[in-house]
A and B are shown apart, each in its own frame.
Chain A
């Protein structure tokens, strides 16, 4: 890739300060499916190029962040001729409701797909009050 031209002029800062990633690489929003079952919420994210060693999941307060890093494709002796997709990292965050049991979150990665199962807390299940029609 051609080296980018460096700007000599100072750049004005954003206020409030915008946080940036230390690595200068493209970041994409992974496509997700989220569905709810009786006792869990299942989140499935497409993150091609990511394996179990390159995915991070953090839960802070009620924000679940998923992030994946992807090494760019490069084939020595070959040059890019046609491109339909870009390679970059993934990042996306979701707010999680209180009904999720914070200690029981399972995550698996297979074939570039991250599957997170968020189990619902027992007490929430019990707290459901049945309303009958008269």
Chain B
């Protein structure tokens, strides 16, 4: 019954490309741990729950007053600046590994955010943003009536 007939509906157009995509994805995953991570600053972790999501970002040494957090619909934008020490005449760097300068990152969340209830905290160089899911976007439980 569910034999080759389903292909005719066009939903699954070409099973080979899906396989190839999967293979490419696997190769990317196993080619090195560094590939797993985005190279954007700040790196973020996203936690999901029923009430919404929590985004944490490691952004040490930034001025929390200069960080802008914008929430529009289902997207979150973080922007700010990371300043480095200004060297005087005759001073020189031995090493310079920390990234600096302006940064902007936009994340798309899988739901609409109630932008009025977003809370952000910056502690010990870690930014934590609590993004509650908008009431209208929450899944409704549908009761099944039995007669």
Contacts and interface: CB of A to CB of B under 8 A. Distances in A.
A35 B93 contact: yes
Interface in B118-136: 122, 124-126
B46 interface: yes
A122 B80 CA distance: 40
Interface in B91-147: 91-99, 122, 124-126
B94 A48 contact: no
Given A49-B125, A113-B61, A32 B95 contact: yes
A85 B45 contact: yes
Interface residues of B, number: 38
Contacts, number: 111
Interface residues of A, number: 32
Nearest to B33: A86
B50 A111 contact: no
A82 B94 contact: no
A113 B58 CA distance: 11
Contact of B94 (A35, A50, A79): A35
14 contacts: A34-B94, A35-B92, A36-B91, A37-B91, A42-B85, A44-B61, A44-B85, A46-B60, A48-B58, A49-B125, A73-B45, A75-B54, A85-B43, A111-B61
Given A80-B45, A110-B61, 11 more contacts: A33-B85, A36-B91, A48-B124, A48-B126, A49-B124, A73-B47, A79-B49, A81-B47, A84-B37, A85-B37, A112-B60
